[in-house]
Chain A
Amino acid sequence: MNRFLDLIAGLYALVAYGFIYLPIVVLVLFSFQASRFPLPPFTGPSLRWYGEVLGDSKFTGAMVNSVVVGVVSSAVAVLLGFLAAYGCARMRDRLGGAIRALLIAPLSVSYLIIGMGLVVLFNWAGVPKSLLAVGIGHVVINLPLCFAILYSQMSDNIIRLEQAARDLGAREWQVLSLVVAPVLWPALLASFVLSLTLSWDEFLIAFLLTRFETTLPVEIWTLLRSGLNPKANAIGAVVFGVSILMVVLAELAIFGKGTKKS
């Protein structure tokens, strides 16, 4: 009887994980296809399409663009989120609460709405569609997240550490750079990597705010419009690999600290 239940449970798990991972497995598998279509039968393995992707300056350029936009916008979002969290931790009154709510609220607004808003605003302000515009858009969507993560780490304990540092003669910038930032290092790294992951495969805002130079997700979308192609699979596999790498880094940053403490 028990055996039977175990079998059912095992099958169920297999179906569940299959449901989640099969599309990715198929995507990655057919990126190694040797023939022109990413459809069965599997004719590989071959690195033909990876070669084509890496030889195509349109894709490598988009990849570099994605990395630059991701790194710069994440760094800005983390810096602004850190400073906002640092300030808000000192405002325990109603005004502080209102500022916190306003900073976190954009998390609930869809990227489409934010993207449309930015299109209208940039159009009015005369900012051309560009990577800069996408970067600003990514700061807008990632700042609330960075703020929320960093604010949750601003405990009374940190405020006491700051007091101790000031008591010993540290100036404000020294308090921030020598005490608060190093103590919050794991949270800073985690919010940076999370921002980077979100920016890396963000499509909507990048699509709405770029024209000639664009990011990788927009380039993939353009490619897919002309039908199925193992090249798209190869790019998808690369994007997926990078995302996984960043998630692992974020997990190490967050949970690595936890295990060290205990």
Chain B
Amino acid sequence: MSAPVVSIRNLSHAFGALTVLHELSLDIQPGEYVVLLGPSGSGKTTLLSILGGFLQPTNGAVLIDGRDCTHMPPAKRPTTTVFQDYALFPHMSVGANVAFGLRMNGVAKAERQRLARETLALVGLEQVLDKRPHQLSGGQRQRVALARALVMKPRLLLLDEPLGALDLGLRRQMQEELKAIQKRVGTAFVHVTHDQEEAMALADLLLVMQDGRIVDQGNPERVYTQPSTRFSATFMGENTLIDAEVTEISGTTAILRTALGTLALDRPGIRKGKATLTVRPENLRLGTAPSGRVSLGSGEVAESVFQGSYRKAVVRTGSGGDILLKLPVDMPVGIGERVEVHAELRHIGLLQE
């Protein structure tokens, strides 16, 4: 692995008596798309502000290309920010907005016009060069803000809920474009959002934040199917959590006892004692477990609702609580039926906190 673009070391921040970031450390690799996901108040925006230089951390350091930038003002940093409300200069044309940073850095007029046009073309907007921001649609403004930040060729681009102001359809479309543009320019992006779908679609590295701490980090697929904390298991989408106890370990294989029965899981780093199993509703099926799948016990169908692309069902197990399932719609299931629930081993997450 090459040297990281950004190294965050033991970063803490407090607003008065309220600590919003706790001893955070993180490396960001060149060209990596990092998404900070968390509820409001989890510290994700504070972290972004510190990376952008708008906020001085109480403790810790931010290194960009190995250089300490902790107390460097935003103007001097090799970072640029796409603000939540875009913060486009309303009195300037789109072209002047995009060229603003170059102008501040003393780039000659002809050159900055050329670069502004080139960057607007990159985001697919060269035709609006002479328009004013208020003449553009929300999605276009978003892209102008992106162009204005990208034209500076930053080492790190920061995006503060960049799609938050757009309606759902446009958000999904912009999300794809954002990812494509990021791959094209190869700049490391740090993107803050509270939209899990957006986070999973965009991230190379997904960081789940809660109360000023990174509670889970990894590629989105891993974080989704095998969350490493209870918070990330429940914050991202629906999940069923089953209490368990690790009773025996041989090698990397552990025997877990739950209220619904016993099963064996092959996981490194597992230890004896309390544990929680997690399993996503779409990874569960009904019936006798075929080979390669493992039974999670049985219960009575308490709910079965057609939801369009899937059928939502709840299996009440009594002692083990309720299990939530998203079944294919063509799989009929009647309320009151006694059924067995099974899943693939790799889809079962294990938490030990």
Chain A positions near chain B (C-beta within 8 angstroms): 157, 160-161, 163-171, 174, 179, 182-183, 185, 261
A163-B83, A165-B100, A168-B148 given as contacts; is B91 within 8 A of A183 (CB)?
Answer: yes
Determine if B89 is an interface residue (Cβ-Cβ < 8 Å): yes
A168–B152 CB distance below 8 A: yes
A167–B74 CB distance below 8 A: yes
Contact with A161, one of B52, B73, B89, B101 (Cβ below 8 angstroms)? B89
**Per-position 1/0 for B74-116, Cβ under 8 A of A:** 1110011101010111110000000011001100000000000
Determine if B134 is an interface residue (Cβ-Cβ < 8 Å): yes
A161-B89, A167-B52 given as contacts; is B104 within 8 A of A174 (CB)?
Answer: yes
B75–A167 CB distance below 8 A: yes
- List residues of chain A with CB within 8 A of the CB of B231: none
Distance A119 CA – B79 CA, assembled complex (angstroms): 56
- List residues of chain B with CB within 8 A of the CB of A182: 89, 91
B91–A168 CB distance below 8 A: no
B87–A163 CB distance below 8 A: yes
- List residues of chain B with CB within 8 A of the CB of A160: 83, 85, 87
Task: Report 26 cross-chain contacts, Cβ distance below 8 Å, ordered by A residue.
Answer: A161-B87, A163-B54, A163-B81, A164-B81, A164-B88, A164-B89, A164-B148, A165-B89, A166-B73, A166-B74, A167-B53, A167-B54, A167-B79, A167-B80, A167-B81, A168-B80, A168-B101, A168-B104, A168-B152, A169-B76, A169-B101, A169-B105, A169-B152, A179-B89, A182-B91, A183-B89
- List residues of chain A with CB within 8 A of the CB of B152: 168-169
**A168, A169, A171: most-surrounded residue (chain B CB, <10 A):** A168
B100–A168 CB distance below 8 A: yes
Distance A160 CA – B89 CA, assembled complex (angstroms): 10
B100–A183 CB distance below 8 A: no
- List residues of chain B with CB within 8 A of the CB of A161: 87, 89
Interface positions of B from 17 to 70, Cβ below 8 Å from A: 52-54
Distance A161 CA – B52 CA, assembled complex (angstroms): 15
- List residues of chain A with CB within 8 A of the CB of B80: 167-168
- From B101, which residue of chain A is reached at the shortest CB distance? A168
- From A185, which residue of chain B is reached at the shortest CB distance? B91
- From A163, which residue of chain B is reached at the shortest CB distance? B54
Distance A182 CA – B152 CA, assembled complex (angstroms): 23
- From B77, which residue of chain A is reached at the shortest CB distance? A167
Q: Give 12 new A-B contacts, CB below 8 A, not counting A163-B81, A163-B83.
A: A163-B87, A164-B81, A164-B83, A164-B89, A165-B100, A167-B81, A168-B148, A169-B76, A169-B105, A174-B104, A179-B89, A182-B91
- List residues of chain B with CB within 8 A of the CB of A169: 75-76, 101, 104-105, 152
Q: How far is the CB of B342 from chain A (nearest CB, A)?
A: 52
Q: How far is the CB of A110 from chain B (nearest CB, A)?
A: 39
Sort chain B's interface into a size bin: 20 to 34
- From B76, which residue of chain A is reached at the shortest CB distance? A169
Distance A141 CA – B29 CA, assembled complex (angstroms): 59
A164–B91 CB distance below 8 A: no
- From B80, which residue of chain A is reached at the shortest CB distance? A167
Distance A165 CA – B96 CA, assembled complex (angstroms): 12
Q: How far is the CB of A106 from chain B (nearest CB, A)?
A: 32
Q: How far is the CB of A153 from chain B (nearest CB, A)?
A: 13
**A160, A169, A185: most-surrounded residue (chain B CB, <10 A):** A169
Distance A182 CA – B100 CA, assembled complex (angstroms): 14
Distance A42 CA – B73 CA, assembled complex (angstroms): 73
Distance A166 CA – B54 CA, assembled complex (angstroms): 9
Distance A78 CA – B81 CA, assembled complex (angstroms): 32
- List residues of chain B with CB within 8 A of the CB of A171: 75, 104
Distance A165 CA – B134 CA, assembled complex (angstroms): 18
Closest 10 CB pairs of A and B: A168-B101, A169-B104, A164-B87, A160-B87, A167-B74, A182-B91, A169-B75, A170-B104, A166-B74, A169-B105
Distance A183 CA – B133 CA, assembled complex (angstroms): 13
Distance A167 CA – B79 CA, assembled complex (angstroms): 8
Q: How far is the CB of B45 from chain A (nearest CB, A)?
A: 13
- From A162, which residue of chain B is reached at the shortest CB distance? B87
- List residues of chain B with CB within 8 A of the CB of A165: 89, 100, 104
- List residues of chain A with CB within 8 A of the CB of B148: 164, 168
- List residues of chain B with CB within 8 A of the CB of A168: 75, 80, 100-101, 104, 148, 152
Q: How far is the CB of A136 from chain B (nearest CB, A)?
A: 33
Distance A218 CA – B105 CA, assembled complex (angstroms): 53
Q: How far is the CB of A72 from chain B (nearest CB, A)?
A: 27
- From B54, which residue of chain A is reached at the shortest CB distance? A163
Distance A182 CA – B105 CA, assembled complex (angstroms): 20
- List residues of chain A with CB within 8 A of the CB of B75: 166-171
- From B99, which residue of chain A is reached at the shortest CB distance? A168
**B53, B74, B79, B83: most-surrounded residue (chain A CB, <10 A):** B74
A183–B90 CB distance below 8 A: yes
- List residues of chain A with CB within 8 A of the CB of B90: 183
- List residues of chain A with CB within 8 A of the CB of B91: 182-183, 185
